Amino acid sequence: MTLQKLISISLLSLAFSSCVLSPKSPPEIGTSHFPISNLTDQEYPDNPDIGFRASQYQSELFINGELTQTKDAFIWNFTFHTNQGDTLSLKQVDLSQYIPTIPHHVKADQYLSRVACVNQEWNRNQVKFNGSQFVTNIPGVIRVDLARNCLNAYLWEIIVYTEENGNTLPYAHGWFNFPQPHYAHLFTLKNNIAYSTYQAALENWVEPESKSVQFDLLRKKIEPIAIRFSDLSDQMYPKQGARLKKFKEIISPGSFSTMRNLQTDSTLFATFSPPGFYNKQDPRKTELGRFYQLKKVELHTTTSPNTADTLHELALHFGHRTKGVHTTLTIGGLNFNAFPVLDEKDANLGWKSSMGIGNHTFYENYSDHIEYKAENSPFYALLTDGQGKWFDSHAVGIDGPIFHFSDSTKSTLHLWLLSFERHALVGHYSIDLSN
């Protein structure tokens, strides 16, 4: 099957699914069956796992699966079947945090509600299950990941891992659709809002309008903190972990030696296509020239409607490489105590999250996943223009921040910018908190 044919099938499936209306009553408790798609290397030549996976990798392992709802609407059992007749089961999985969730404190604002909802659906959330959290007779499997990917609603992935030479490596990968009526009901139940309100945007990426952001709904400023900063983007980022695997997804520039070289509107990345694969045949344009000149950094201590903790907000003000446009990156609800102390070469291990409001991070283990409550999260990361109006981070080409400290006294904070689909790091800033 060619990539073009796979895309056509996926789009046809999504066109059909868009006709599924939000149920007026809960779907019946029962088992929903679904096929699982596999992609060979010929069908998926841009797979970043090629060269970083198990030697016995199975490109066509899965056949189908089923989802069974329990008496609790959010608790589901998953079973996946393989070509060899083996099974893999995830029992009593709480899906409440997989579902895009509008935080309580922004529900009064229709615009922020839409921005929060859309960004949660269109940012990846991949959850890791270990040990007794899954049951399988597939030989050698030590870990299972279940992902709601960063595309249209219903598109999910299953990835299994094995151990080889002391390393945990991908062993197989499959793609499937979560049943649409159940997804719609879970969304309505979680948010107490009709799924149809956001259905079009979640299924087909209808970008929110560019409107002013009411930051006062997200936090209350206490006091400014005077800080100094350095722009370290004239250095190269550490090519480790995901950044090493995904380096081949950078289309343009063909070669570069610093992050500054990427801070241009001509930078291109492999896009992410349904049902969830990187595709260099469809280059993703960016506006990374917006981050060429860091002019000012503001730091405030804040309080949030959701916690009694004292938190922080950073606002970074940028000038474009060639155009007279202003960009502000505001990241708030930050708990500095959560940030690790790392060498710069280990930046990929820093605290990270995606752009949006209340988002889960891209990757997390199941225990952390169910403990984190998007509905109460104080976190936000938003781009605004010179008039304070929101605009889409996906179109610009960034996915979120990475934070870490570089000293045990936690006086030097490092912020790195993750590119579109986290293929690269496209900015690095050192912020002096010693004052």
Domain edges within the chain: 3-204, 218-432
**How many other C-beta atoms can be found within 10 angstroms of the C-beta atom of residue 64?**
14
- Given this model, what pLDDT does residue 358 score? 97
pLDDT in tens, 305-324: 988 889 999 999 999 999 99
What DSSP string describes 303-364?
A: EETTEEEEEEEEEEEEE-SSS--EEEEEEEEE-GGGSPB--GGGGGGSEE--SEESPPPSEE
pLDDT in tens, 252-290: 999 999 999 999 999 999 999 999 999 999 999 999 999
Over 60: is that where the pLDDT of 7 sits? no
Strand 125-130 versus strand 363-365 pairing type: parallel
Over 50: is that where the pLDDT of 8 sits? no
Distance CA 265, CA 308 (A): 41
On average, the pLDDT of the chain sits at 93
- Please give the structure tokens belonging to residue 214: 């009411």
- Given this model, what pLDDT does residue 223 score? 85
**How many other C-beta atoms can be found within 10 angstroms of the C-beta atom of residue 227?**
15
With 0-12 / 13-18 / 19 or more C-beta atoms within 10 angstroms meaning exposed / middle / buried, residue 151 is: buried
Q: Where do we find the tokens 């492999």? A: 270
- Please give the structure tokens belonging to residue 399: 């996915």
The residues with which 88 forms a beta bridge, in sequence order, are 80, 136
Which residues neighbour 402 within 8 Å (Cβ) at sequence distance 6 or greater?
Answer: 347, 348, 350, 351, 352, 415, 416, 417, 418, 425
Distance CA 420, CA 114 (A): 21
Q: What is the mean pLDDT of residues 22-39?
A: 78
**How many other C-beta atoms can be found within 10 angstroms of the C-beta atom of residue 138?**
18
Q: How far is CA 370 from the centre of its chain?
A: 16
Distance CA 65, CA 255 (A): 43
pLDDT in tens, 142-182: 999 999 999 999 999 999 999 999 999 999 999 999 999 99
pLDDT in tens, 40-90: 999 999 999 999 999 999 999 999 999 999 999 999 999 999 999 999 999
Distance CA 17, CA 182 (A): 12
Over 70: is that where the pLDDT of 25 sits? no
Half-sphere exposure of 211 (CA within 13 A, CB side): 12
> 0.75 exceeded by the pTM?
yes
Distance CA 312, CA 98 (A): 26
Residue 434's pLDDT band (cuts 50, 70, 90): confident
Q: What is the mean pLDDT of residues 31-41?
A: 96
